[in-house]
C-alpha cells in the first residue's frame, strides 16, 4: 500500500517542489493550501510534471481547527509536512500578531489532529534563521540557537519547540525539523518556481525580476561587511535538492529509522557564496548583465551563515547535488 503524505502549504514554492519529489518517489500526496500567498499555478505545474491529474487538493486554512481535524479524520495520512505559514520577515515586524497567530495556531492544529487520528510522523519546515548571527561557521545542528531578530524567525523557533515538547509528551507522534538555508532556483521543467507577490524580499527573485526588466536596478545591501568581497555570505541551496531532503526525511520516519523521537537536520550545501558571487554567477550562467548598485546594509541581516550538512548526509543519505550554475539557470528559465 502506498503511503500518504499531507503537504500543508503545498501550493507554495517549497511545497510544490516537495510534492513533485514525493510523487516521483512513489508516495500519495494530499495538497492543502489556503492560497493566501499563492495561486494554483504551481499546483497545475505539479500535475503536468508528474502526469498525475488527480492529486487531491483542499483549499483550506490550518488555523481552522475543525477543517484541519476533518482533513485528518477523512484521510489516512501517514506523515504530514507543514509548510503553511507566513514568511515575510519585514511584514512580521510590522504585524507580529498576524504572524504569531497564523504560524503557531496552524501548527498546533496540525499536531493535535495528527495525534488524534493516528498520523505519527510530523515534519516541520524550519530555517537557518534560528541560528541568528553564528559565532562559529559552518553551523552544525548543535550550534546554539540565538534570539530571533524578527517575529517570523521567532515563530520558527517556537514551532520547533512546540514540536519537540509535543513529541516528548505524546509517544504516539514523532518529529523532524529541517533547517533550510537559502532555497533558490526552480524545477528543471520551468513549470514550477517562486512566485513572489509584489516587490520580492529575497535576493534571487529580485535578481530575475531585474534581469527581465520588471525592476530597474538591484540593490546590493552592504559591501562593507567583514567578508572576502564585503557582501554577505549565504548557503544557497537548490530547491529540487531541498525537496529531495524531505523525501529522505519522510522515508526515515515512515520506515521507523529515527534514532530519537525528535530530530533536526541542516539542509544546505556546506559552501558559502557571497551576494556578489551569486550575482556574477547569475550573469555568467545566463550570459547577461545585471543592473545593480551598492546600497546600505539591510537591518537584521546576518553577515555570514552556511551549513555543516554532515549529519543530513550521514543520517538521511542526502546531500546537495545540483551545481549552482544550473540552479541559477533554472531560476532564469522560470522567470
Residues in the site for ligand WQD, rule: CB under 6 A?
Answer: 87, 89, 127, 129, 182, 201-203, 206, 218-221, 232, 234, 275, 298, 301
Pick the closer one to ligand WQD by CB: 121 or 182.
182
CA atoms within 13 A on the CB side of 244: 15
Q: Give residue number: closest CB to ligand WQD.
A: 232
Give yes or no for a contact between 252 and 316, defined as CB atoms under 8 angstroms apart. Answer: yes
Question: Is 152 marked active-site?
Answer: yes
Give yes or no for a contact between 86 and 151, defined as CB atoms under 8 angstroms apart. Answer: no
Three-state SS sequence of 220-237:
EECCCCCCCCCCCEECEE
Pick the closer one to ligand WQD by CB: 151 or 175.
151
For residue 73, the minimal CB distance to ligand WQD (Å) is 31
Tell me whether residue 195 is exposed, middle or buried, using C-beta atoms within 10 angstroms of its C-beta: 0 to 12, 13 to 18, 19 or more. Answer: middle
Number of H helices, E strands in the chain: 11, 13
Pick the closer one to ligand WQD by CB: 168 or 201.
201
| Residue 185: closest CA among 306, 307, 269, 126 | 269
For residue 200, the minimal CB distance to ligand WQD (Å) is 7
Pick the closer one to ligand WQD by CB: 173 or 186.
186
* Pairing mode of beta strands 79-82, 182-184: unpaired
For residue 288, the minimal CB distance to ligand WQD (Å) is 17
Catalytic residue among 58, 99, 131, 152: 152
Pick the closer one to ligand WQD by CB: 288 or 295.
295
Give yes or no for a contact between 332 and 211, defined as CB atoms under 8 angstroms apart. Answer: yes
Give me 258's grid cell: 529515527
Show Cβ contacts of residue 198 under 8 Å, excluding neighbours closer than 6 positions: none
> Rounded to whole angstroms, how far apart are CA atoms 20 and 18?
5
For residue 272, the minimal CB distance to ligand WQD (Å) is 11
Give yes or no for a contact between 13 and 88, defined as CB atoms under 8 angstroms apart. Answer: no
Query: CB neighbours (10 Å) of residue 294?
Result: 13
For residue 37, the minimal CB distance to ligand WQD (Å) is 11
For residue 180, the minimal CB distance to ligand WQD (Å) is 7
Pick the closer one to ligand WQD by CB: 52 or 298.
298
Partners of 238 in the β-ladder:
184
Q: Is 286 helix (H, G, I), strand (E, B) or coil?
A: helix
List, by residue number, the catalytic residues.
152
Amino acid at each position: 500500500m502506498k503511503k500518504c503524505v499531507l503537504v500543508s502549504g503545498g501550493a507554495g514554492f517549497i511545497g510544490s517542489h516537495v510534492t513533485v519529489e514525493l510523487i516521483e518517489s512513489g508516495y500519495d500526496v494530499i495538497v492543502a493550501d489556503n492560497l493566501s500567498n499563492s495561486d494554483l499555478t504551481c499546483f497545475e505545474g505539479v500535475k503536468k510534471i508528474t502526469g498525475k491529474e488527480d492529486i487531491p487538493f483542499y483549499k483550506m486554512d490550518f488555523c481552522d481547527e475543525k477543517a484541519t481535524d476533518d482533513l485528518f479524520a477523512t484521510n489516512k495520512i501517514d506523515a504530514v509536512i507543514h509548510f503553511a505559514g507566513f514568511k515575510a520577515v519585514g511584514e512580521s515586524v510590522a504585524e507580529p500578531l498576524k504572524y504569531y497567530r497564523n504560524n503557531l495556531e496552524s501548527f498546533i492544529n496540525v499536531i493535535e489532529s495528527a495525534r488524534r487520528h493516528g498520523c505519527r510522523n510530523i515534519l516541520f519546515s524550519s530555517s537557518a534563521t534560528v541560528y541568528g548571527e553564528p559565532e562559529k561557521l559552518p553551523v552544525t545542528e548543535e550550534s546554539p540557537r540565538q534570539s530571533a531578530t524578527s517575529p517570523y524567525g521567532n515563530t520558527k523557533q517556537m514551532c520547533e519547540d512546540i514540536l519537540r515538547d509535543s513529541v516528548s509528551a505524546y509517544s504516539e507522534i514523532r518529529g523532524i525539523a529541517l533547517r533550510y538555508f537559502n532555497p533558490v532556483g526552480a524545477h528543471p521543467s520551468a513549470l514550477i518556481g517562486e512566485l513572489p507577490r509584489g516587490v520580492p524580499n529575497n535576493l534571487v527573485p529580485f535578481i530575475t525580476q531585474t534581469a527581465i526588466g520588471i525592476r530597474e536596478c538591484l540593490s546590493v545591501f552592504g559591501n562593507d561587511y567583514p567578508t572576502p568581497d564585503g557582501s554577505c555570505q549565504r548557503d544557497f541551496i537548490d530547491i529540487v535538492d531541498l525537496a529531495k531532503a524531505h523525501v529522505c526525511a519522510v522515508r526515515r520516519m515512515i520506515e521507523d529509522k529515527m534514532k530519537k523521537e525528535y530530530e533536526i537536520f541542516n539542509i544546505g550545501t556546506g559552501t558559502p557564496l557571497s551576494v556578489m558571487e551569486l550575482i556574477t554567477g547569475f550573469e555568467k550562467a545566463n550570459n547577461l548583465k545585471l543592473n545593480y548598485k551598492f546600497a546600505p546594509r539591510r537591518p537584521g541581516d546576518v553577515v555570514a551563515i552556511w551549513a555543516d550538512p554532515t549529519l543530513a548526509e550521514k543520517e538521511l543519505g542526502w546531500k546537495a547535488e545540483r551545481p549552482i550554475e544550473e540552479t541559477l539557470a533554472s531560476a532564469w528559465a522560470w522567470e
